[in-house]
């Protein structure tokens, strides 16, 4: 009788183990389905963000103007050069504050092609800034306004290309 009772207990334990495995498997399947649904929701939200993010028309021209001011400052006599740098820096802080206080903010240094564009623009800006400074010190005063206008135009192009690239990346990215 003891042996029969032990066999019955073993069968019950095996049945419970099979039942637990089945429940565990169905729980895992339900969790997977919930995760896939959540990822699909994230994908849809990303596409919605792309459609709804619109920068003000003035943002790229203002950033270009402020960057041009930071290039052209070394052509101005003292103390005007310091005033130009101060206005340029304060203006840049205000533009960035406006941008980062929006409901949606996208970093220009995010991974992907947009980061490469940001690095390229940064290098181009530094070349304009320090190249014009050096050439000006060599007696080529004409380079400063040329560099300032050039960086103003390049900033416009960069802003539009960056946003277009970001939109394409967001639409093409597959979550998961």
At residue 10, the pLDDT reads: 60
* Residue 72 banded pLDDT, cuts 50, 70, 90: very high
At residue 175, the pLDDT reads: 38
From residue 10, give the alpha-carbon distance in Å to each of 1, 14, 21, 23, 100: 14, 6, 16, 20, 65
Task: Show the tokens assigned to 73.
Answer: 């400052």
* Residue 16 banded pLDDT, cuts 50, 70, 90: low
Return the DSSP state at 141. Answer: T
pLDDT, tens only, 96-121? 898 888 766 777 777 889 899 999 99
Q: pTM value?
A: 0.69
* Residue 154 banded pLDDT, cuts 50, 70, 90: very high
At residue 92, the pLDDT reads: 94
Residue for token pair 């060599």: 138
Percent of the chain past pLDDT 90, that is, above it, reads: 44
pLDDT, tens only, 157-175? 999 999 889 888 887 765 3
């Amino acid at each position: 009788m003891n042996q029969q009772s032990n066999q019955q207990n073993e069968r019950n334990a095996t049945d419970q183990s099979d039942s637990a495995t089945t429940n565990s498997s169905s729980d895992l399947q339900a969790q997977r389905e919930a995760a896939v649904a959540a990822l699909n929701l994230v994908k849809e939200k990303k596409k919605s963000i792309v459609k709804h993010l619109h920068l003000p028309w003035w943002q790229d021209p203002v950033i270009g103007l402020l960057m041009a001011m930071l290039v052209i400052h070394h052509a101005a006599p003292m103390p005007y050069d310091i005033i130009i740098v101060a206005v340029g820096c304060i203006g840049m802080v205000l533009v960035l504050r406006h941008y980062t206080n929006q409901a949606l903010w996208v970093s220009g240094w995010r991974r992907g092609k947009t980061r490469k564009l940001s690095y390229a623009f940064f290098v181009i800006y530094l070349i304009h800034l320090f190249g014009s400074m050096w050439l000006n010190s060599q007696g080529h005063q004409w380079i400063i306004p040329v560099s300032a206008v050039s960086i103003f135009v390049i900033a416009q192009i960069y802003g539009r290309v960056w946003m277009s690239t970001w939109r394409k990346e967001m639409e093409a990215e597959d979550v998961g």
